[in-house]
Amino acid sequence: MSERATKIPPAETEAQSDDHPTDGTQTDPPSEAESDAEAPAETTPEPVTNGAQSVVRALENAGVEYAFGVQGGAIMPVYDALYDSDIYHVTMAHEQGASHAADAYGIVSGEPGVCLATSGPGATNLVTGIADADMDSDPMLALTGQVPTEFVGNDAFQETDTTGVTTPVTKDNTFSSDPDLVGSDVSEAFALAREGRPGPTLVDLPKDVTKAETDCEPDAPKTPDTYEVQTHAESAIVEAAADRLESANRPVMLLGGGVIKGEASEVCREFATEHEIPVVTTMPGIGAFPEDHELSMEMAGMHGTGYANMAITHCDTMLAIGTRFDDRLTGGIDTFAPDAEIIHVDIDPAEVSKNIHADYPLIGDAATVVEQLADAVQASPQAKKWRAQCQQWKSDYSMAYDAPEDEPVQPEFVVEALDEATDDDTIVTTGVGQHQMWACQYWTYTEPRTWVSSHGLGTMGYGLPAAIGARLAADDDQTVVCIDGDGSFLMTMQGLSVAVRENLDITVAVLNNEYIGMVRQWQDAFFEGRHSASNYNWMPEFDKLAEAFGAAGFRIDDYDEVADTIEEAIAYDGPSVIDVHIDPQANVYPMVPAGGDNGQFALTEDQL
């Protein structure tokens, strides 16, 4: 039996709109008349009788529709409570996939994705995805089973100090020890994952606590009183920053992932176009500004475009929004935008002046602060010459590539062909490596929440499970494409079984060069071509493997197969995998060597 979770999860009937999350009882579904009424049709839910039901009720109250996880001993009471819930549980093949799927669900929907695992190995398998969400500030709630309280600390079977292990990689975590409070702990963790700067939270659930009797209904999701978020920036600094922008001759806007998470894309677009300021994005900021716009300089950083890197290096004023100035963006700190005064907008005060000193620290919600700035800026900067310079750089350092017919397929061509074959709102997920960079560089992103990747942690194997989470969060008519590498795909490929079971319409294009390509590229550049452990010429045939899983498998070896195969794979209603045999020697350029000067990016290997 395979149900089509993408389209209609069993929880949703036509009578229940998205605004009225279901209440957790199946005995008395609201009728059409009821849900059309003024007040939401709330049937009285069955009172909770134990801790686990309280946990699930907390999720239902928060409007959770999907949960990703794997069963196990210590989490069994929670799964037992889920059995009666309308929350659709997607059983993953591996807990790492559960955390990546929840992460991607959070990126695409904006609401925390939920993942579950049992104690010990279940919990530790979640850690990679939690750390990934932490680095990228993605909203996520992880629920882990724990051994019964009386065994905690005794090295019991499948015991791990989960809160201890996850403290450095969560926004907040809780060991829940009271059956009366366990539901509220989950509610609070859900609220914390979403509010302010988003991030992953975790609640550790001892089996005796979830099994224990309680009639306590969880509180509504609310952050604790000690958690304060400043939304508006100090007006004096806003005024000063506005003056600085007005007098700028070489202004640049740098949009980070926070722009997308803070729903500030629209207001940033208005601000940039009104004042004609060239826009550069970070990698997580991809989609915040349409890349086909004249003002767009696209992505900056290690593999950013040459023109973006020239723009951030030579600007005199940088309006940086929702970025933490990661080293992959800045290159060497000493050469990062050395002439620029920095106006830094961020909701997290700790990000301001952490890596790059902010001359104008604007702490607050991205959308709110940009509106404050928009009100304060009276005149556009006089930057006609600068804009012309930026356009000149765009033609000097254009992202053109050669694709001779008689050579193996170039990866850039495949990415462009995929982009062409799909709509603008197509969601792209990737693993990590060369393919990820080509997907950044050669796909034209125009909408926020369409780029789903592992940025800060750089987790290989992220792409396929992320595609599963993204598929469930996306609109039905949105296409989901996973651009993966052979090495990345091999790491979490077991997720294909999930995609097949749920009949998820995902197209995976594996850019197969039989190498850990990025490592091979660095070995060629910095390790005298000694390909230590980077040659993967033992790769399986991914198209046949896909078929073994029950998915559709395709293979591309030549240019003349590219367009047709892609069309066929995308048209296939269900998971499909294209094994694209690309030029094994293809490299990613431009490139700023680690810690290098962004303005000195290399265009060829000789320039490294």
Residues that bind other proteins (CB under 8 A): 163-164, 167-168, 171-172, 175, 192, 224, 226-228, 230, 233-234, 237, 306, 310, 313-314, 325, 333-336, 338-341, 348-350, 352-359, 361-363, 396-402, 407, 585, 587, 589-590, 597, 599-607
Tokens representing residue 562 in the block: 């590219």
Instruction: State the minimum distance, in angstroms, from the CB of residue 485 to other proteins.
Output: 19
Annotation marks residue 38 as catalytic: no
Length of the chain, in residues: 608
Q: Respond yes or no: is residue 549 known to be catalytic.
A: no
Task: Using the minimum distance from each CB to other proteins, give the nearer residue, 345 or 566.
Answer: 345
Q: Which residue has the tokens 């009366």?
A: 180
Shortest distance in whole angstroms from residue 364 CB to other proteins: 8
Task: Work out how close the CB of 224 gets to other proteins at its nearest, in angstroms, rounded to a whole number.
Answer: 6
Rounded to whole angstroms, the Cα distance separating 370 from 374 reads 6
Cβ burial 142-161 (10 Å sphere, 16+ → b, else e): bbbbbbbbebbeeeeebbbe
Q: Which is nearer to other proteins, 422 or 587 (CB)?
A: 587
Would you call 157 a catalytic residue per the annotation?
A: yes
Q: Which of 253, 310, 518, 539 is catalytic?
A: 518
Looking at the Cβ atoms of 233 and 580, the one nearer to other proteins is 233
Q: What is the DSSP letter of 276?
A: T
Residue with tokens 């290098």: 596
CB of 99 to other proteins, least distance (A): 21
Nearer to other proteins by C-beta: 127 or 464?
A: 127
Q: One of 95, 298, 412, 502 is an active-site residue; which one?
A: 95
Angle at 271 between CA 267 and CA 272, to 5 degrees: 120
Asked if 285 and 302 touch (Cβ cutoff 8 Å), the reply is no
Check 16, 188, 207, 413 and give the catalytic one. 207
CA 58 to chain centre: 24
- 158 labelled catalytic: yes
> Nearer Cβ to other proteins, position 492 or 587?
587
Q: Please tell me which residue in 12, 34, 76, 158 is annotated as part of the active site.
A: 158
Long-range contacts of 337-343 (CB under 8 A, 24+ apart): 337/312, 337/313, 338/313, 339/250, 339/314, 339/315, 340/252, 340/312, 340/315, 340/316, 341/244, 341/316, 341/317, 342/318, 343/241, 343/244, 343/245, 343/317, 343/318, 343/319
| Residue closer to other proteins, measured from CB, 379 or 603 | 603
Q: Hey, what's the torsion of the CAs at 58, 63, 65, 69, to 10 degrees? A: -30
Residue 371 bears catalytic tag: no
CB of 13 to other proteins, least distance (A): 38
Burial of 267 (0-12, 13-18, 19+ CB in 10 A): buried
Residue 60 CB, shortest distance to other proteins, in Å, is 24
**Positions marked catalytic:** 95, 157-158, 207, 518
